[in-house]
Structure 1
Amino acid sequence: MVMPAYGSGAQPTVWLPVNLDELQALKYELSGKYCYAAGATLLRTQWEGGLVPVPEHMISLARIQGASGVYVDGEELVIGALTRLSHCATDVLLQQLPLLQSAMNAIAAPSIRNVATIGGNIVSGVGDSIPALLVYDAQLYWMTDNGMEMHSLSCWLNGVWEGRRNLNDVLVAIHIPLENTSLPDANSERTSVTREISFYRKLGRRETFTASLVTIAFHGELGADGRWNKIAIAAGGGSGMAMRLPESEKLLLGVEASVMQASSLAATVMAEFETYSDVFATEQYRKQTAGNMLGAGLWEALRL
């Protein structure tokens, strides 16, 4: 059995399992009196702000074998959940996912990105990587009490906001279908794609190093006939749930691309996006901003 690394007094006892078997055993032994940590950047902020109590035990995921790095596995691009944000921002394979790399560079400061992990950003439920991963149809690979399970990011988010999340589950990896990348050996149907249009935007309360008010992601593919043959749009931001926008996607799918679509897209997004009000921005402001950001991004991309 893995032994604790350190811990005394008011500080949690830190455990360092090196594989998933040891991790699963620790879960049962500690009987829920623990929390998981990887980079722990968000946890430190929450503890210092008194938002969550310091646990009796902390299980560090930092040494789990095979849970970091980026590689191709069959028809999927796989990102280990413990991969640092800074690595994701520069990884050669992830250059095929420009929206995700844009998101990585928009999160916090470089010093934080050197410590924080993509898994931690996702598991927070409100991370800025989530809209980008939604448009790439990301699947999440979990170690659960019942064994290893795969769930779509969209389904997992719905579970979080409906209170069905199991805090004992551990995110191991993120899987993205190769057909959603530009890798040479991806789906052969991509030969009909003549142009890809992708953009990611984050609006915060100041220019950098702040939580977002609104975050949007757009990925579209144009066929030889100039029509949209694939569209994926997502929006989120702040402490609200990021979501795909299927009605906004339907507005464009199969239609010939035109800058004139920018205003109608903005209006549809405003009507569809579900968000919230807080002391920093009203629900209406967030909805309007998401619509304007997506409409402006589409207009800029198509006028070139």
Structure 2
Amino acid sequence: MVTPTYGSGALPSVWQPENLQELQTLRSRLKGICRFTAGGTLLRTQWEGGLIPAPEHMISLARIPEMSGISNRGDELVIGAMTRLKECASQALLHQLPILQEAVNAIAAPSIRNVATIGGNVVSGVGDTLTALLVYDAELHWLTDSGIEIRSVSSWLQGGRDGSRNPGDVLISIHIPMRSSSMLDVEGEYRPVAREVSFYRKLGRRETFSASLVTVALYGEIDLDNRWTKIAIAAGGGSGMAMRLLDSERQLLGSEATVMQAATLAAAVTDEFTTYGDAFATEHYRKQTAGNILGAGLWEELHE
């Protein structure tokens, strides 16, 4: 069993397991008195801001090989939770997922992306990658008390809303299904995908290195008859949880794709998006901004 590096004074002891079995043993032994660390950028910010106390023990995930890297496995792309944001932004495999790459490039500054991990961004519960992962129907693989469990991003976020998450679970990897050239339409028939529509937008309080006010993502597929055969829309931002906008999606699915739908989408999103207000922006402002950004993005994509 791995032994810890002991801190000095008030600093915690740092454990560095080298495989998932060692990690599971440490989870059981140090339950309730430890925190897990990846890049540590968010954790450090929370400590320095006095938001959380320093734990007695920290478990570093850096040495576990299953938790790093990006690979194709069958019909899905797998991203280890410990993969640095810098690698996610530059890895050629992720060119197949432009919304996710845009989201990663919009996070903080390059110096932070060199250290921060995609797993840390997800586990924060409010990371800017979550809207992208929602529209890509991503699944999260967790190490739990019962072993490896698989949850969709949507269901995991719902667990944060209803309090059913276990904070001791460890995110191991992110799995994203890859698209085929033909998809089932709303009537259950396979139709060729003539065109993909996708974009990600982030609005912050200033241009760089600030918390987002609103983040939105849209992924859609249009068939040869110029009808939406698939549409996925998500919004989030700030300290609010991202969400799929299912009612707004239904406004478009199966209909003809035209620029006239931009206004319809903007209104639907404004009505459906659940968010919050704070000192920087009211709830209504965030809702309306999400609707306007998605409507404008759709107009730009379909106007080409």
Shorter-normalised TM range: over 0.9
Q: Does 1:36 align with 2:19?
A: no
Contact 1:195 / 1:221 at 8 angstroms: preserved in 2?
Answer: yes
Q: CA RMSD in A?
A: 1.1
Q: C-alpha separation between the residues in 1 aligned to 2:135 and 2:271?
A: 19
> Percent identical across equivalent pairs?
67
Q: 2:140 aligns to what?
A: 140
Separation in structure 2 between the aligned mates of residue 195 and residue 302 of structure 1, nearest angstrom: 10
Counterpart position of 1:96: 96
Supply the distance in 2 between the matched residues of 1:199 and 1:33 (Cα, whole angstroms): 41
**Counterpart for residue 182 of structure 1:** none
- Measured after TM superposition, the shift of residue 177 of structure 1 is 1.0
Amino acid paired to 2:239: S
Which aligned pairs between 1:23-172 and structure 2 lie closer than 5 A?
23-172=23-172
User: How far 1:191 moved relative to its partner?
Assistant: 7.3
Q: Taking structure 1 as reference, are residues 74 and 187 closer, same or farther at Cα in structure 2, changes over 3 Å only? A: farther
Distance 2:206 2:283 in 1: 19
Contact 1:233 1:245 in 2 (8 A): yes
Structure 2 residue identity aligned to 1:228: W
Q: Which amino acid aligns with 1:166?
A: N
Q: Deviations over 1:16-40 (max 9, x none)?
A: 1111111111112223211000100
Name the aligned partner's letter for residue 101 of structure 2: Q
Do the aligned partners of 2:31 and 2:168 also contact (CA within 8 Å) in 1? Answer: no
Structure 2 matches for 1:114-263, cutoff 5 A?
Answer: 114-179=114-179, 186=180, 189=183, 192-263=192-263
Is the 8 Å Cα contact of residues 259 and 302 (structure 1) preserved in structure 2? yes
Preserved contact between residue 68 and residue 81 of structure 1 (Cα < 8 Å): yes
Which one-letter code corresponds to 1:256 in the other structure? Answer: E
Q: Which amino acid aligns with 2:192?
A: S
Matched with 1:183 is: none
Cα distance in 2 for partners of 1:8, 1:84 equals 28
Distance 1:93 1:65 in 2: 19
Indicate conservation of the 8 Å contact 1:194/1:224, yes or no: yes
TM-score, with structure 2 as normaliser: 0.96
Whole-angstrom distance in 2 between the partners of 1:156 and 1:31 = 21
Superposition deviation, residue 6 in structure 1: 3.3
Distance in 2, matches of 1:31 and 1:118, equals: 24
CA-CA distance at 1:187 after TM superposition: 6.0
* Residues in 1 aligned to 2:164 and 2:272: alpha-carbon distance in whole angstroms: 24
Higher alpha-carbon deviation: 77-86 or 24-33:
24-33
Report if aligned partners of 1:38, 1:117 keep a CA contact under 8 Å in 2.
Answer: yes
Kindly tell me the number of residue pairs found equivalent between the two proteins: 298
1:121 aligned counterpart, secondary structure: helix
Distance in 2, matches of 1:299 and 1:73, equals 35
Which amino acid in 2 is paired with 1:93?
L
Distance 2:28 2:193 in 1: 50
Residues in 2 aligned to 1:188 and 1:79: alpha-carbon distance in whole angstroms: 25
1:190-249 CA-partner distances (Å, limit 9, x unpaired): 871111110100000001100000000001111101111110000000011100001111
Q: Extract unaligned runs of 5+ from structure 2.
A: 184-189
Q: Quick check: 1:264 aligned with 2:264?
A: yes
Residues 266 and 295, structure 2, Cα contact 8 Å, conserved in 1 = yes
Aligned partners of 1:206, 1:133: CA distance in 2, in Å? Answer: 24
For 1:113 and 1:266, the matched residues in 2 are separated by 32
* Aligned mates of 2:53, 2:225 — CA distance in 1: 57
Q: Which amino acid aligns with 1:201?
A: R
Equivalent residues of 1:218, 1:234 under 8 A apart: yes
Q: 2:215 touches 2:235 (CA, 8 Å); kept in 1?
A: yes
The CA distance in 2 between the partners of 1:201 and 1:188, in whole Å, is 27
The residue identity in structure 1 corresponding to 2:102 is S
CA contact 1:12–1:58 (8 Å) conserved in 2: yes
TM-score normalised according to structure 1 size: 0.96
